[in-house]
Amino acid sequence: VLSGCGVYDGTEIHEASAVLVHLSRGGAEVHMYAPDVPQMHVIDHSKGQPAEAESRNVLVESARIARGKIASLAKLTTADHDAVIFPGGFGAAKNLSTFAVDGKDCKVNKEVERVLKDFHKAGKPIGLCCISPVLAAKVLSGAEVTVGHEEEEGGKWPYAGTAGAIKELGGKHCVKEAVFSLTPFYEAHVDAKNKVVTTPAFMCETELHNIFDGIGAMVKNVLKLTGK
């Protein structure tokens, strides 16, 4: 499920690409979706500033990543899929929800909320990375997720405050690494009860290959939870 195209106002493109590569490697058949709604705003990524005169559609922009093969999120059903994955990027906090503006008091797009609740009720796994775990924390009360660490640690974890917001939303935050640790893989957190799998990705200032491998751990666990 995509939220636009570009880290500051949509889907983080590297994360989406990593998810797709790991799903392909895992032998999964993939369908892509996005809500057919206007973006919260448009950011000029060369300046990091809003482009005041522009407006864009989340589905149309997401089609750039999907190479045109994408459908409205309203068409996504649990009956046709074994799992659902949400890459990160500020679009998850701006277009899939109002978290970027409202924090713990945020609202989630009605179709996003429906999808999360439907997959959870069906016992089918949900994968999320970067900032998108806030969606699960808001919609699935008590879900265990990770956005990495809970302290900034000199700028290594610039969005560490999100962990506190997750707790305020009713979720449980679990500290995880974004880089290689003593475990034989880059870390993802698996909430086995709720079948929710999360990984920090770009919540951490680290090398791109660490992001790629962390997302790989998330995707691998999501596919494992499908039982196929």
Has residue 142 been placed in a domain?
A: yes
Has residue 21 been placed in a domain?
A: no
Has residue 118 been placed in a domain?
A: yes
Tell me the three-class secondary structure of the chain, residue by residue: CCCCCCCCCCCCHHHHHHHHHHHHHCCCCCCEEECCCECCCCEECCCCEECCCCCCEHHHHHHHHCCCCEEEHHHCCHHHCCCEEECCCCHHHHCCECHHHHHHHCCECHHHHHHHHHHHHCCCCEEEECCCHHHHHHHCCCCEECCCCCCCCCCCCCCCHHHHHHHHCCCEECCCCCCCCCCCCCCCEEECCCCEEEECHHHCCCCHHHHHHHHHHHHHHHHHHHCC
Active site residues: 130
pLDDT at 53 over 60: yes
pLDDT at 178 over 90: no
Has residue 31 been placed in a domain?
A: no
- Across the chain, what does the average pLDDT equal? 95
pLDDT in tens, 111-135: 999 999 999 999 999 999 999 999 9
CATH number at residue 200: 3.40.50.880
pLDDT at 158: 95
pLDDT at 84 over 50: yes
pLDDT at 180: 53
Q: Which residues contact 7 (CB under 8 A, 6 or more apart)?
A: 13, 45, 89, 90, 202
The domain tally of the chain equals 1
pLDDT at 184: 39
pLDDT in tens, 126-162: 999 999 999 999 999 999 999 999 999 999 999 999 9
pLDDT at 66 over 90: yes
Q: Which residue segment(s) compose the domain that 165 sits in? A: 71-226
pLDDT at 22 over 80: yes
pLDDT in tens, 97-108: 999 999 999 999
Q: How confident is the model at residue 185 (pLDDT cuts 50, 70, 90)?
A: very low
Has residue 112 been placed in a domain?
A: yes
pLDDT at 177: 77
Has residue 202 been placed in a domain?
A: yes
Which of 74-78, 98-102, 180-184, 209-213 is least confident? Answer: 180-184
Has residue 109 been placed in a domain?
A: yes
Rounded-to-integer distance, Cα 221 and Cα 227, Å: 10
Question: What percentage of the chain carries pLDDT values higher than 90?
Answer: 93
> Which amino acid does the sequence have at 1?
V
Has residue 48 been placed in a domain?
A: no
pLDDT at 87: 98
